Amino acid sequence: MGDRCTIESGLYVTSGTKVRMLDNSGQEVEVVKARDLAGKPDLLFRRNSQTGAVECLTNKSAVELNSELHSNN
């Protein structure tokens, strides 16, 4: 996994795990093996509770900081 990736607690991802890549609206774009995502930053991995499929989407919140909490005042 790359920098700032988040993996849901309890999710076991191996290089051969099939991962559904989702767009911003939650629609499947493609299915890839986890090894193809090696080194890619800012991804969120989760398991779909209805289908059991491993899903991946861009983790935009990984780089957003609350300026009020990080102002050092």
Tens place of pLDDT per residue across the chain (73 aa): 889 899 999 999 999 999 999 998 999 999 999 999 999 999 999 999 999 999 999 977 655 556 666 566 5
Contacts within 8 Å (CB) and 24+ apart, 26-35: 26/57
pTM of structure: 0.78
Q: CA–CA separation, 56 vs 69, rounded Å?
A: 29
The confidence score (pLDDT) of residue 8 equals 95
